[in-house]
Amino acid sequence: MSDLKTIIPLSCLALLALGLPLTSYAESSDVTGTGNIEMTGGIPKQPIDPENPEIPVDPGPSPSTDGPLRIDFVSSFHFGHNKIEEKNRQFYANAQLFHDGTTPRGSYIQITDERSDKKGWTLQVRQEYQFRNTIIQEKEAQELKGATLSLDHGWANSIYTWETPPIVTKDTIEISELAMTQNIAIAEIGSGKGQWTIEFGASETNKNQQKNTLFPKTTPSGDAIVDPEFENQPVYGNTAIFLSVPERTEIKPVQYETELTWILAALPT
């Protein structure tokens, strides 16, 4: 604020001096004015389209954090209903749907860094426990033993194209060791400022030269599967996020759940 107060009067004075003829006066009188500007607001927490980041979207409620370095939105990974098979036990997560007409996208996380400095940050994820259902009576069968959650084709996007983007892990992230953090992205010192999305996979309409990883999910008879929580929109799968279950692991016809913790931290100074 103090810098702006100084610059505004000096700029006006310089501009006026250029337009005045060099004329001598016997007497003069001066008056001093002031200038000020008040800045409000900041970067909104509103979720944005990860493939068109200038457009706000409505993906529904999500956990978030507060502060100048924060997580604005993170997709939940839903795998839907799946047939139990003895082989080919790879199950794909549903793509992210929206309530506002936006077409499906890969699951994503939205990060905002509006700190005055550019000290950088890291994003990590941790699976707290194995996919499980504690209602199953046989304790040994409650968990999907050996199941691995994989995240692939991660990429960053932003309207802050003048800023240096964060570096997203290119290798497939395989979460098989529980309670162990996995690196997703790092914004080194001098980078990652502004608002960024990290999407896993992409739709076929993306303009960022990313591979299409979405496909329509259908019933065994070929009918579209719809999601009643999103106005009965067709459900799409995403090959960039998948759960692999070993053939030796028993799968019961129940719903299994797990918990992921996303960790956004400033780089140490």
Tokens of 80: 């839907």
pLDDT tens by residue, the chain, 269 residues? 222 111 222 233 333 333 434 344 456 556 656 666 655 558 999 999 999 999 999 999 999 999 999 999 999 999 999 988 888 899 999 999 999 999 999 999 999 999 989 999 999 999 999 999 999 999 999 999 999 999 999 999 999 999 999 999 999 999 988 888 999 999 999 999 999 999 999 999 999 999 999 999 999 999 999 999 999 999 999 999 999 999 999 999 999 999 999 999 999 87
Which residue type occupies 39? M
What's the rounded Cα separation, in Å, for the pair 188 and 164? 9
Which residue ranges make up each domain of the chain? 43-266
Contact by Cβ (8 Å): 195, 53: yes
How would you classify residue 41: left for phi > 0, otherwise alpha for psi between -120 and 50, otherwise beta?
left
Q: Name the pTM for this structure.
A: 0.83
What's the rounded Cα separation, in Å, for the pair 166 and 1? 30
Greatest Cα pair distance in the chain? 103
Angle (nearest 5°) at CA 162 between 159 and 166: 75
What DSSP element (H or E) covers 260? strand 260-266
